[in-house]
């Protein structure tokens, strides 16, 4: 079987090395005579896998002992509710920065639990640039400041980390986690759905500062209390064991590549050459402000959208999959997460140039 190049925004491609190892271990994990997905999550074998995965993630991101790392179910969308439930801590208001569809979804859900103040919005520029630090109207009494560093659908990315003073900073890193180095100490809470840069869908990672735990909104369900999960080491119920195992394999793969610094260098090369190809052409266009172009999700349009269908058909015939843009914005979108090799981007650029020659 020939593997094709997968540009899906999520669930996204996994490293081939990880898939091959999972395949090899599928029926008999380490000579135990059963699959790891059949094991008890409380067995010493699985606990060892879980502990190694957490430690590898801590190593990769430089996560200190004052942060809890949780492996949860429910997707990043469940965090839209869990964050206010856990972080309001007696306060009645929270600040949010609105930069696109995922920000809006987080705002809508948080509004069920508190007074949401929009600290800044990109709506005025059509969500093509993020607000600068000086444009943020922050409330010193807010329980937290929430932002979406990368809007997966629109391809809009922050080029800085907002400074929020003593107010905890909350970030939805679903599409950028592990793609470049960050200082975790700048954040009160980080959350990320796994299905882009971590592993398969069904797992969510939450990194939360320990002092923010333990004061939930009255009536919060037990399973929505971060402290319950932290105290039980993410095993207060049966966790998504196979997703956790695969995430651990991805973390080891990242370490083998040279860690986050090496992946960052590769990601920078990938996005730079793809945007350069778009900018060098009158046939393709990207609407985002240059400083706020996403490294992970590169949307682009054709000069004649009547050619969109043909572009996608011929791209798939050339082994380039899942390039259709989100239904809300149209056009094309190439998601170039960590597991997308540089040669995939080279193949996409070559196809784009050939298509332009034929149809410009």
Question: pLDDT tens digits for 295-337?
Answer: 999 999 999 999 999 999 999 999 999 999 988 788 999 999 9
Catalytic residue among 196, 270, 295, 324: 196
Q: For 298, left (φ over 0), alpha (ψ -120 to 50), or beta?
A: beta
Confidence of residue 94 (pLDDT cuts 50, 70, 90): very high
307 Cβ contact partners less than 8 Å away, ≥ 6 residues apart: 359
Q: What is the pLDDT of residue 330?
A: 85
Q: Beta partners for 67?
A: 209
Catalytic residue among 102, 244, 253, 295: 102
Is 16-256 a CATH 3.40.640.10 domain? yes
Whether 244 is catalytic is: no
Cβ atoms 325, 331 nearer than 8 A: yes
Residue 194 CA from chain centroid, whole number:
7
Tell if the pTM clears 0.75, that is, is over it.
Answer: yes
Q: Beta partners for 150?
A: 157
Q: How far apart are the first and last CA of the chain?
A: 34
Q: What is the pLDDT of residue 14?
A: 97
Confidence of residue 118 (pLDDT cuts 50, 70, 90): very high
Taking the CA atoms of the chain, what radius of gyration do you get in angstroms?
Answer: 21
259-359: CATH number = 3.90.1150.10
Q: What is the pLDDT of residue 1?
A: 61
pLDDT in tens, 168-186: 999 999 999 999 999 999 9
**Going along 38-81, which residue ranges are E strands?**
67-72
Catalytic residue among 56, 95, 172, 225: 172
Both tokens of 295, joined, read 């490294």
Domain map of the chain by residue range?
A: 16-256, 259-359
Whether 357 is catalytic is: no
Q: Beta partners for 235?
A: none
Closest of 98, 141, 148 to residue 119, by C-alpha: 98
Q: How far apart are CA 25 and CA 18, in angstroms?
A: 11
When the pLDDT of each residue in the chain is averaged and rounded to a whole number, the result is: 97
H or E element at residue 351: helix 342-359
Q: What is the pLDDT of residue 353?
A: 98
Query: Averaged over 137-146, what is the pLDDT?
Result: 97
Q: What is the pLDDT of residue 2?
A: 83
């Amino acid at each position: 079987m020939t593997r094709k190049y997968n540009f899906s925004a999520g669930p996204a491609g996994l490293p081939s090395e990880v898939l091959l190892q999972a395949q090899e271990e599928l029926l008999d994990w380490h000579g135990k005579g059963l699959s790891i997905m059949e094991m008890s999550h409380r067995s010493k074998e699985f606990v060892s896998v879980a502990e190694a995965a957490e430690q590898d993630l801590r190593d990769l991101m430089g996560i200190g002992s004052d942060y809890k790392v949780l492996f949860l179910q429910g997707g990043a969308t469940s965090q839209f509710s869990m964050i206010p439930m856990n972080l309001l801590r007696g306060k009645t208001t929270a600040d949010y920065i609105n930069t696109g569809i995922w920000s809006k979804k987080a705002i809508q859900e948080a509004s069920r639990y508190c007074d949401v103040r929009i600290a800044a919005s990109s709506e005025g520029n059509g969500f093509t640039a993020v607000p600068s630090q000086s444009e943020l109207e922050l409330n010193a009494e807010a329980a937290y400041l929430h932002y979406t560093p990368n809007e997966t659908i629109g391809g809009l990315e922050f080029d800085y980390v907002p400074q929020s003073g003593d107010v905890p900073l909350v970030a939805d890193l679903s599409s950028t986690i592990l793609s470049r180095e960050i200082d975790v100490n700048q954040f009160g809470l980080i959350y990320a759905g796994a299905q882009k840069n971590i592993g398969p869908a069904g797992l969510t990672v939450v990194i939360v500062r320990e002092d923010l735990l333990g004061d939930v909104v009255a009536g919060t369900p037990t399973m929505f209390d971060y402290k319950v999960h932290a105290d039980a080491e993410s095993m207060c119920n049966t966790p998504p064991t196979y997703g956790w195992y695969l995430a651990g394999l991805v973390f080891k793969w990242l370490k083998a590549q040279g860690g986050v610094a090496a992946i960052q260098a590769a990601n920078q090369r990938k996005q730079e050459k793809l945007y350069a190809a778009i900018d060098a052409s009158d046939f393709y266009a990207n609407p985002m402000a240059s400083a706020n172009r996403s490294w992970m999700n590169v949307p682009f349009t054709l000069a004649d959208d009547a050619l969109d269908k043909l572009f996608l058909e011929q791209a798939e015939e050339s082994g380039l999959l899942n390039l259709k843009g989100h239904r809300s914005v149209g056009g094309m979108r190439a998601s170039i997460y960590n597991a997308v090799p540089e040669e995939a981007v080279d193949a996409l650029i070559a196809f784009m140039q050939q298509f332009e020659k034929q149809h410009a």
